[in-house]
Amino acid sequence: MKIRFWGVRGSLPTPPSNAQYTDKLRNILSKAAVSDISTPVSREAFIKNLPEIERMNVGGNTACLEVRADNKLIIFDMGSGIVRLGNYLNEYEQNGKNLDIRIFLTHTHWDHIHGFPFFKPAFLPQNTLTFYSPHPNLQERLEYQQDFRFFPISLSHMASKKVFVQLEKNSEIKIGNIKIKNILQYHPGDSFGYRVTYKGKSFVYATDSEYKNLTSDFVTRHAEFIKNTDLLVFDAQYTLEEAIHKEDWGHSSAMQGVDFAILSKVKNLALFHHEPDNDDYRIHGMLKRAIEYRRANYPESKLNIFLAHEDLIINL
């Protein structure tokens, strides 16, 4: 199973500002000796050796993951990251034609659907798009997003074949040999987490979920859902302090992700749904604190913690 992150930002697409770009550039240049940048070869080597924070951007596109397994293409969420995925399919996969695309939605908040009207494969009649969600009236919700008052092209004018499947809450379905289970999460308007299992490996996509002031039964159910998974993609929008202040905003923190992951013997924890107000340095700072928190509170733990960033590919 291969997972690629096309959008990792929460709430709002967030291109870097000029000030953020200059800031990063200044930090990079401060590390360079003349010999590092004097030839094309030395420049490439210099770039390759930069720390991740300066070698790349975390990325400003909102939630979208691509999963490949069992010769199937499965997409989770349709934030602005799906636009680049669509362009990629057009360029590299059968010219974007005759595609059988499955799309699972956590929920229909803007940052999880607003890329869809720009998803090029949806405009081609040779393609079939099957949408899965435990939310009712998914078709109506997507039609509403593309009502002429909000968008110039209606959903029905997108020529692909569209199929809508309403999943039962907390149920499991099979697509080929892939098992996909969902769980109801605590989030305004409800959201759903997914556990994908294929050939003995699994990953859990658990974004837009809050875990505090809840009964232990709720926590136990979620801990069970992520148990022993190889990769947990976790909503880490807030710092722990913000998560306490922003009760009922529907998001959580990296520390809560660490607690959950260790409780459930997760192997890898990807911090996801990054806050649009945070620049790369602040987001990397949150990762650093999450790692320190793990070391201080769970010194025996081998949990691998990292940032989900655009174009990150994970093979399980």
Residues 277, 241: Cα–Cα separation, whole Å? 15
Closest residue to Zn ion in the complex (CB): 109
CB of 243 to Zn ion, least distance (A): 15
CB of 273 to Zn ion, least distance (A): 6
Sequence-separated (6 or more) residues with CB below 8 Å from residue 48:
55
CB of 192 to Zn ion, least distance (A): 11
Kindly tell me which residue out of 13, 64, 78, 111 binds Zn ion, with binding defined by CB under 5 A.
111
Strands of the chain, DSSP E: 2-7, 64-69, 72-76, 100-104, 128-133, 161-166, 172-175, 178-185, 191-198, 201-206, 231-235, 268-272, 304-307, 313-315
Task: Kindly tell me which of 208 and 310 has the beta carbon lying closer to Zn ion.
Answer: 208
> Would you count residue 275 as binding Zn ion (CB under 5 A)?
no
Kindly tell me which residue out of 109, 120, 195, 309 binds Zn ion, with binding defined by CB under 5 A.
109
Residues 119, 136: Cα–Cα separation, whole Å? 23
Task: Kindly tell me which of 230 and 242 has the beta carbon lying closer to Zn ion.
Answer: 242
Of 47-66, binders to Zn ion (CB under 5 A) are none
The region of 42-50, 83-91, 102-110, 135-143 touching Zn ion under the rule CB under 5 A is: 102-110
141 in helix, strand or coil? Answer: helix
User: Regarding beta strands 100-104 and 72-76, do their DSSP bridges make them parallel or antiparallel, or are they unpaired?
Assistant: parallel
Binding mask 189-208 for Zn ion (x = CB under 5 A): -------------------x
Q: Which two tokens stand for residue 112?
A: 């999880």
User: Where on the chain is the footprint of Zn ion (CB under 5 A)?
Assistant: 10, 109, 111, 208
